[in-house]
Chain A
Amino acid sequence: MRLKEQDHHYFINILLYVGSMLLLMEWIYPLDQVTDTGQTYAFFTYVLLCFMITSMHKLPTWLASAFKFLGLMFLVHYLFYETRFFSFEWIQSLLIDLQMNLSAIVSQNWMNLTPVFRTLLFLILLWMMSYLLYYWFVVAKRPFAFILFTFIYITVLDTFTVYDSEVAIVRVFVISLAILGLANLNRVLSREQLKLPHARTMFKWVSPIVFVILFSAVMGYAAPKLEPQWPDPVPFLQGAAENGFGNGNGSGVGVNRVGYGENDERLGGGFIMDNSTVFYATTNTSQYWKVETKDIYTGHGWVNSDNDQMISQPNGSIPDMSQYGDVVERVDISSELRFVEPGNLNKIPYLYGTENISANEVVDDLNYRFNLDNGVLESLVDHEATLLDSGYEIAGRKPDFPINSMKEVPSSSEEVPKETYLQLPESLPDRVGELAEDIIADVDDNRYDQAKAIEEYFSDEGFVYETSDVAVPSDDEDYVDQFLFDTQRGYCDNFSTAMVVMLRSLDIPARWAKGFTGGDRAYNQDVFPDAGANVYEIQNNNAHSWVEVYFDDIGWVPFEPTVGFQNQADFATGESIEDILDRNEEDYLEAPDANVPDEESNDSQSNDEETEDDEVAGTGSNFWTNLSNQMTWFNWLIVTVIVGLSIWLINSYRDQIIAHLKKQKLKRKHDADTISGSYQYILKLLAKEGYVLQEGQTLREFADDIDRFLGSREMSKLTNIYERFVYRGEDLETKHDEVYGLWNQLIQRLLSNRT
């Protein structure tokens, strides 16, 4: 499809087309925020390319298509492949990818579509849009439908997602008004068969348009606006999206921000990163900041059992906070922490081994409360859990868990601190327990080795750490079962919950711990000016969950099943320094127990991984995952609306589409049948408009009537040629070009005359 040469309004058409491109771009902007689509600039580039090629009217259609295809391939290569463009290795892998995806589509396995494929489809969609918009804006001169859809799209996104369209709506408004003005001018010009007027007349035309646009845009922007008149229809979506300290690792629908959350009843779903600081702490190593533990697994998430044993202590000395057996060696620790943006957090994070807490300021009625069951430490002011901005100082003795002693603990023992630490939901599929049995089949029969085997199972089996494309189990699915057998990708909640559940299925008492990882060293902070490098910044990104396993005579020992994370607790191997030095370096590195926490690597590693995941994710994978899982009704509604709209559009543009097809045919074929067929088609189209060739009416009389009605002369000219074909037996082939020109003008006139 190309811009027509005989059209006098080439300039206006180009402007209209550019306007349509800007509107299309408005559809792409929000993708960055509401889905995890990265590198949207690639799509902008492609839109620009497609529109530029389409507007080049000298280019033959096949060549234009070839260029667009090349551009598409180049972008796919640029986004996903690292080999050289002309190497063709990547094309091979692309083809394999395509094959896989096609079979996934056939088997309706939507989850398995790869980012490459989705990106490819999206680019093809943009390609098609460049044609469709050309047709709407330049040929049919009916831009309104697309403008309306753009407004609906923008406003819906603004209402239901994180996307803030405050500026976008103004942009769309200005572009749309300009387009409507231009389209009207264009239509008037072509209906009256006028040429583009001179500069002065042009000014008369354009100035009111410009004035109306500017006036209404400025007025609209400056005028006072009403507050929302009804409560947000989907508050949980909005809340999840806007609240930085939202449900975080907890129950998520749609896109969440990472952070510490209270409610873990429904786990799953992806989140986006949030690097706001929760607190700063002075320690010399990066360590777990524990907030609480939970013990009842529901099949979808975690809740607490009821019986809470509390210890209240005004002076903050609570030795019971860390009950470890005598075999556990302890090292003195102390840390000062100060909150920056705690959000909804009203519990005090503390280190393993903490025994004493004190506030940095003197507060009346201050009381500390520790919950022995779920490990929650709170400071109460007026019996209300309150976090003091001035922060706290904690002190205690850090445990150094002895591996040798732990290995002596039998796998299942009689001694269980509480029955709930072995609780499992009845709905849990048997295969979870069977898998746990399989994992420990070849492992020594002691609790430590079995726990270790399950902890390592995830990285050994290639489970993927993933924050965005994470499934939410439906009501009849089990969260752990889905993770272990279906998706095998997820973040800390998936790994830690799965490990706890598997341990419990082996009768090993375990519970789910949550809090923060140790964070990164903060070099540029002014909270603790004198602390030097021993200050750690804990962000919402550091919100984390892990596993605690109970060992008789030792206590609760943290385990770290999440791929890409390292256990931040200390373990004593029972070997001397010499023993360690004797072992070769490789062994040392591989030994999981000889973990000397590396302050630099822990979190930066996980962050790097997350960034990578974001880039690979391609087009809105998380968005679709959520849609297919939780919002099926919404999904269906959208599909119905889209199908309905498509049918409506096709129906209302049926004549335009058929006319276009006829035009292409007439352009290609020069035979008499095609040409006379095209003439007959005009008669048909006219009949539809109510201009029926009467019995006893000659073509000439009819053509005169039509020309009078359309204010044209084309119909008579065309009829003359056709008459010579029918009544004189002349060939039409020689007249093809003339017929083509006249036919085109007539069709355009007819179709544009409709509204």
Chain B
Amino acid sequence: MTQQITNHQTKINLLFDNMEKVMVGKREAIELTIVALLAQGHVLLEDVPGVGKTMLVRALARSVDLDFKRVQFTPDLLPSDVTGVSVYNQKEMNFEFRPGPIMGNIVLADEINRTSPKTQSALLESMEESHITVDGVTMELKNPFFVMATQNPIEYEGTYPLPEAQLDRFLIKLNMGYPAKQEEMMMLDRTVNEHPIDSITPVMTREELIEQQQLTQNLYVSESVKKYIVELVSNTRKNPLIELGASPRASIALMKAAQAYAFIQERDYVIPDDVKYMAPHVLSHRLLLTSEAKFEGKTPKYVLDDLIKKTMIPIDRG
């Protein structure tokens, strides 16, 4: 097990390097993206336009040599535009399924909050269930299947914000933020001749990725770490500043994320540090603060940090 992890580590490092060529100074975002990928979860990217959301997904897709699809969510987009549609073939005299963008390995759902809830849920349900049903025919989605949805936090007019229940389906919510001046300079340098995205080559095969995902899934989690996860999640439900705490699904998500994080740290077991690091990224979008807390200007991240600081970490067995 440890040996396998070490073997894969080289690949993971190459993946990091590859993506960093495109995404200068966004190590954390890259890391979290890879964590979500390994944990077979999905990512919600919330940020202003132009900071490289799309570039991140494209870099990932190219590096792993996966099928990349993109959907631009607009108000008039229909569920069938996402899932695909059956078209009558007059020549063949039958209905022929034209697969939608969801039938790719990596799907970029751009500006997901601009489309109607109907279309949104078509995507989100398929994310959860890994298959779609069109005209009574059930079709398996590709494996691996990784959705990265983006939303713009600035323009709220004419948008349909994702309900809490739907947010829960994303493993991680991340913010890119602007690059530092130094990093932006470096970005300009790299883009002078050609865009770096065009020069990167795949460093990992699909099969290798699947194997890594399986290893991650089987990574050892001790009783005391599980206890810590449950303690942390249940604390979100008791906190007076939080209206709605994290669900049991959040516990599972946190464990998966911690496993993936331990994996990229080249460790075959999870330690509380992994959980602690992942908790804000996994839990913050699943909490609903009370109006008082919001009024005081507290963010879910702030409340979570405080809560993590106060949760006792088990330091002995069992």
Contact yes or no, A729 B272, CB < 8 A? no
- Given the known interface contacts A693-B315, A726-B315, A728-B220, the answer about A701 and B310 at a Cβ–Cβ threshold of 8 Å is no
A700 at the B interface (CB under 8 A): yes
Pick the residue among B222, B270, B312, B316 that contacts A696 (CB under 8 A): B312
A724 CA to B262 CA, complexed, in Å: 13
Judge whether B317 is part of the interface by a CB distance below 8 angstroms: yes
Pick from B222, B268, B270, B309: contact of A695, CB under 8 Å = B309
Complex Cα gap A728–B268 (Å): 8
B312 touching A695, Cβ below 8 Å = yes
How many angstroms from the CA of A696 to the CA of B310 in the assembled complex? 5
B13 at interface, CB cutoff 8 A: no
Q: Which of A725-749 contact B (CB under 8 A)?
A: 725-729
**B313 → chain A closest CB, angstroms:** 6
A584 within 8 Å of B by Cβ?
no
Given known pairs A696-B309, A696-B311, A729-B220, the reply for A724 and B269 (CB within 8 Å) is: yes
Contact B269 A697 (CB under 8 A): no
Minimum Cβ distance to chain A for residue B266 (Å): 13
Asked if A329 is at the interface of the complex by the 8 Å CB criterion, the answer is no
Tell me the residues in window 103-159 of chain B with beta carbons closer than 8 Å to chain A beta carbons.
none
What string of 1s and 0s marks CB contacts (under 8 Å) between A704-727 and chain B? Answer: 000000000000000000011111
Residues of B within 8 A of A696 (CB): 276, 308-313
- Nearest-CB residue, chain B, relative to A695: B312
Q: Does B271 contact A (CB under 8 A)?
A: yes
Question: B315 touches which one: A699, A724, A728, A729 (CB < 8 A)?
Answer: A699
Report the count of interface residues on A (CB-CB < 8 A).
19
Partner of B271, one of A693, A697, A723: A723
| Residues 106-157 of A at the B interface (beta carbon under 8 Å) | none
CA distance A697 to B311 in the complex (A): 9
Interchain CA distance A696-B309 in the complex, whole Å: 4
Question: Considering the chains assembled together, what is the distance between the CA atoms of A694 and B309 in angstroms?
Answer: 8
Contact residues of A between 677 and 711, Cβ < 8 Å to B: 680, 683, 693-701
Inter-chain contacts of B308 with A (CB < 8 A):
696
CB B215 to nearest CB in A, in angstroms, measures 15
B313 and A697 contacting across the interface, CB-CB below 8 Å: yes
CB distance from B229 to the nearest CB of A (A): 12
Chain A residues near B315 (CB-CB < 8 A): 683, 693, 699, 726
Q: How far is the CB of A348 from chain B (nearest CB, A)?
A: 93
Q: Quick one: which of B264-318 are within 8 Å of A by CB?
A: 268-273, 276, 308-317
Q: How far is the CA of A700 from the CA of B315 in the complex (A)?
A: 11
Contact call B312/A727, Cβ cutoff below 8 A: no
State whether B269 touches A725 (Cβ < 8 A): no
| Chain A residues near B222 (CB-CB < 8 A) | 726-729
State in angstroms the CA–CA spacing of A701 and B316 once bound together: 16
Chain B residues with Cβ below 8 Å from A698 are: 271-273, 276, 313
The verdict on A695 contacting B316 (CB below 8 Å), with A723-B271, A727-B222, A727-B225 known, is no
Question: In this assembly, does B224 line the interface, its C-beta being within 8 Å of a C-beta of chain A?
Answer: yes
Most chain A beta-carbon contacts within 10 A, residue among B222, B273, B310, B315 = B315
* A700 partner residues in chain B, CB cutoff 8 A: 271, 273
Q: Measured between C-beta atoms, what is the minimum distance from A727 to chain B in Å?
A: 5
User: Could you say which residues of chain A place their CB within 8 Å of the CB of B224?
Assistant: 726-727
Whether a CB of chain B sits under 8 angstroms from the CB of A676 is: yes
Q: Which residues of A contact B317 (CB under 8 A)?
A: 676, 725-726, 729
Which residue in chain B gives the minimum CB-CB distance to A726?
B317
Q: For A676, what are the chain B residues with a Cβ–Cβ distance below 8 Å?
A: 316-317
Write the nearest CB–CB distance from A642 to chain B, whole angstroms: 43
Q: Given the known A-B contacts A693-B315, A698-B276, A699-B315, are A727 and B310 also in contact in the complex, defined by CB atoms under 8 Å?
A: no
Instruction: Tell which of B269, B309, B311 touches A727, judged by Cβ atoms closer than 8 Å.
Output: B269
**What does the 1/0 interface line of B211-252 toward A look like (CB < 8 Å)?**
000000000101011000000000000000000000000000
A702 → chain B, closest Cβ, in Å? Answer: 9
Quote the shortest CB–CB distance from A698 to chain B (angstroms): 5
Please measure, in the bound complex, the distance between the C-alpha atom of A680 and the C-alpha atom of B276, giving whole angstroms.
22
In the assembled complex, the Cα of A729 lies from the Cα of B316 at a distance in Å of 10
Smallest CB gap from A722: residue in B? B315
Given known A-B contacts A676-B316, A727-B224, A729-B222, A695 and B273 have beta carbons under 8 A apart:
no
**In the bound complex, CA of A663 to CA of B316 (Å):** 21
On whether the beta carbons of A701 and B273 are closer than 8 Å, the reply is yes
CB pair A727–B316 under 8 Å, yes or no, is no
* CB under 8 Å from chain A, chain B span 84-110: none
A728→B269 contact, CB < 8 A: yes
B225: chain A residues at CB < 8 Å are 727
Tell me the minimal C-beta distance from A302 to chain B in angstroms: 80
Give the distance in Å from the alpha carbon of A698 to the alpha carbon of B317 in the complex.
14
CB nearest to A701 among chain B residues: B273
Q: How far is the CB of B316 from chain A (nearest CB, A)?
A: 6
B311 and A695 within 8 A (CB):
yes
Q: Which residue of A lies closest to B318 (CB)?
A: A726
**Bound Cα distance A204, B269 (Å):** 51
Report chain A residues within 8 Å CB of B276.
696, 698
Residues in A neighbouring B313, C-beta threshold 8 A = 695-699
Cβ of A721 to closest chain B Cβ, rounded Å: 13
**Which chain B positions have C-beta within 8 A of A727?**
222, 224-225, 269-272
Distance A728 CA – B272 CA, assembled complex (angstroms): 11
What is the minimal beta-carbon distance from B271 to any residue of chain A, in angstroms?
5
Taking the closest CB of chain B, its distance from the CB of A38, in whole angstroms, is 61
Shortest beta-carbon distance from A423 to chain B in Å:
86
- CB-CB under 8 A from B270, the residues of chain A are 727
- Of chain A, the residue at the smallest CB distance from B313 is A698
Tell me the smallest distance from the CB of B158 to a CB of chain A, in Å: 42
Q: Which residues of A contact B310 (CB under 8 A)?
A: 695-696
Complex: chain B residue closest to A693, CB-CB: B315
Give bound CA distance, A724 to B267, whole Å: 10
Cα separation A696 to B220 with both chains bound (whole Å): 22
Which residues of the other chain, B, contact A729 by a CB distance below 8 angstroms?
220, 222, 317
On chain B, the residues within 8 Å of A699 by CB distance are: 272, 313, 315
Give complex CA distance A432, B312 in Å.
83
Most chain-B Cβ atoms within 10 A of its Cβ — which of A694, A700, A729? Answer: A729
Closest to B273 in A: A698
Q: Give the Cβ gap from A486 to chain B, nearest Cβ, in Å.
A: 65
A510-567 at interface with B (beta carbon < 8 Å): none
Name the residue of chain B whose CB is nearest to the CB of A728: B269
Q: How far is the CB of B193 from chain A (nearest CB, A)?
A: 43
Chain A residue at minimal CB-CB distance from B269: A728
Bound-state CA distance A698–B277 (Å) is 11
Q: B270's closest neighbor in chain A, by CB? A: A727
Tell me the minimal C-beta distance from A416 to chain B in angstroms. Answer: 95
Q: In the complex the two chains form, what is the Cα distance from A595 to B276 in whole Å? A: 107
List, in ascending order, chain B residues with CB within 8 A of A723's CB: 271
Cβ contacts under 8 Å, B269 to chain A: 724, 727-728
Q: A370-398 interface mask toward B, CB cutoff 8 Å, 1 = contact, 0 = none?
A: 00000000000000000000000000000
Q: When chains A and B are docked, how far (Å) is the Cα of A680 from the Cα of B222?
A: 19
CA distance A726 to B268 in the complex (A): 14
A275 to chain B, nearest CB (A): 76
- Nearest B residue (CB) for A699: B315
Shortest beta-carbon distance from B257 to chain A in Å: 16
Task: Tell me which of A694, A724, A726 contacts B316 (CB under 8 A).
Answer: A726
Q: List 26 A-B contacts (CB under 8 A).
A: A676-B316, A680-B316, A683-B315, A693-B315, A694-B309, A695-B309, A695-B310, A695-B311, A695-B312, A696-B310, A696-B311, A697-B313, A698-B313, A699-B313, A699-B315, A700-B273, A724-B269, A726-B315, A726-B317, A727-B270, A727-B271, A727-B272, A728-B220, A728-B269, A729-B222, A729-B317
The chain B residues found within 8 Å of chain A, CB to CB, are 220, 222, 224-225, 268-273, 276, 308-317
Shortest 7 CB-CB contacts between residues of A and residues of B: A728-B269, A696-B309, A698-B273, A727-B222, A698-B272, A727-B271, A695-B312
With A676-B316, A726-B314 given, can you name 16 additional A-B contacts, CB distance below 8 Å? A693-B315, A694-B309, A695-B309, A695-B313, A696-B308, A696-B311, A698-B272, A698-B276, A698-B313, A700-B273, A724-B269, A726-B316, A727-B269, A727-B270, A728-B220, A729-B317
Which A positions have Cβ atoms within 8 angstroms of B?
A: 676, 680, 683, 693-701, 723-729
